[in-house]
């Protein structure tokens, strides 16, 4: 792969994960162009911004034609809390993604990385392994992501390389506050009761800075295939809550069993991360205890929404 001109186009550049990837790409000496669809772009050293509605095929094709990126990090997708699992917008983003990667390789693109999900895997108590665990998604979101993986693989065939990063459970400043970890932290900080399920579900949480570093490592690699982005360790939701309580107290506010588990709520989702560690220079560096401590410190000011959280992150780079 030539390194004479490395221009990375990043979709979802203002998002929870994409915003973390931008400065890391600058450090790896990419020319970075980030896409935004709404609002004024954030001023970030080394990053150029383009406004584009990725769901508009004409605008999207024009963007690729104008930028002619050598690399593509496609982090844009529907992310509405509590809606994205079943939202028909997943199909809109699937169609947009298929067009995007087809245009990218047609214009001479060398390597694309798309972001998938552990929701693509079949439910299995064993650790999810990229080339062993069956792909059998149960949700609209998971099905659309799995289809996007195959579309990216097909678009790259004979034209370039690709990677598909299957995210497990990234957490940290900027994620929707309705998710489990921020809801527990904020509930304890506010002294409010926190309705919970029994908390026996085991999940693989990865701190957002580690997840972003994994995405960038995949973009800067050369091997093709699907890769898990996770910590490689499982922990129950109850254990996570107890770690937060150790720092903030008020265990009495956690009301286990008062909330019904969601319809799609597998008992265990944990990743095998041997493949990404073997093929890239990435390994997770932030322990769960360290990540929670940082997250608690970040949220103690009580940010009102995700946009403010991301603004605080960007201003503290």
What value, to the nearest 5°, has the Cα angle with vertex 308 and ends 307 and 310?
65
Backbone angles phi, psi at 230, to 5 degrees: -165, 180
Give 261-304 pLDDT, tens digit per residue. Answer: 887 789 999 999 999 999 999 999 999 999 999 999 999 975 54
Give me 291's structure tokens: 């990540």
pTM of the prediction?
0.92
Q: Which spans in 126-236 are helix H?
A: 140-156, 180-190, 208-219
Residue 243: count of CB within 10 angstroms of its CB = 18
DSSP annotation of 119: G
Domains of the chain: 7-174+205-231 (3.40.50.720)
Are residues 282 and 217 in contact, defined by beta-carbon separation less than 8 angstroms? yes
**CA dihedral sign of residues 55, 61, 66, 70:** positive
Give me 90's structure tokens: 């997943």
Q: How far apart are CA 219 and CA 112, in angstroms?
A: 7
- pLDDT of residue 150 exceeding 80, the answer is yes
Q: How far apart are CA 237 and CA 85, in angstroms?
A: 20
What value, to the nearest 5°, has the Cα angle with vertex 71 and ends 313 and 208?
25
Q: How far apart are CA 280 and CA 81, in angstroms?
A: 31
Give 51-90 pLDDT, tens digit per residue. Answer: 999 999 999 999 999 999 999 999 999 988 888 999 999 9
Give 16-25 pLDDT, tens digit per residue. Answer: 999 999 999 9
């Amino acid at each position: 792969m030539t390194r004479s001109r490395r221009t990375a186009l990043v979709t979802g550049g203002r998002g929870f994960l994409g915003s973390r990837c931008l400065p890391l790409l600058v450090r790896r000496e990419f020319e970075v162009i980030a896409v935004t669809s709404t609002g004024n772009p954030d001023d970030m050293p080394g990053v150029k911004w383009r406004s584009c509605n990725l769901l508009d095929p004409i605008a999207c094709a024009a963007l690729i034609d104008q930028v002619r990126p050598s690399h593509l990090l496609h982090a844009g997708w529907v992310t509405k809390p509590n809606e994205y699992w079943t939202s028909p917008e997943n199909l809109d983003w699937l169609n947009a993604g298929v067009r995007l990667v087809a245009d990218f390789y047609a214009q001479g693109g060398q390597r694309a990385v798309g972001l998938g999900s552990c929701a693509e895997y079949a439910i299995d108590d064993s650790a999810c392994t990229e080339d062993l665990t069956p792909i059998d998604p149960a949700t609209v979101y998971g099905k659309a992501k799995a289809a996007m993986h195959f579309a990216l693989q097909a678009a790259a065939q004979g034209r370039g390389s690709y990677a598909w990063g299957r995210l497990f459970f990234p957490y940290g400043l900027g994620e929707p506050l309705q998710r489990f970890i921020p809801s527990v932290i904020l509930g304890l900080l506010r002294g409010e009761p926190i309705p919970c399920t029994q908390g026996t579900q085991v999940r693989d949480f990865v701190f957002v800075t580690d997840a972003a570093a994994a995405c960038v490592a995949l973009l800067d690699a050369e091997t093709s295939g699907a890769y898990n982005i996770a910590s490689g360790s499982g922990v129950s939701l109850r254990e996570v809550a107890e770690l937060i309580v150790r720092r903030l107290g008020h265990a009495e506010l956690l009301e286990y069993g008062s909330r019904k588990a969601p319809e799609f709520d597998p008992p265990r989702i944990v990743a095998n991360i041997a493949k990404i560690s073997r093929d890239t220079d990435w390994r997770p560096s932030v322990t769960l205890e360290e990540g929670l401590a940082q997250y608690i410190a970040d949220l103690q000011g009580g940010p009102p929404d995700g946009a403010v959280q991301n603004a605080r992150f960007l201003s503290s780079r």
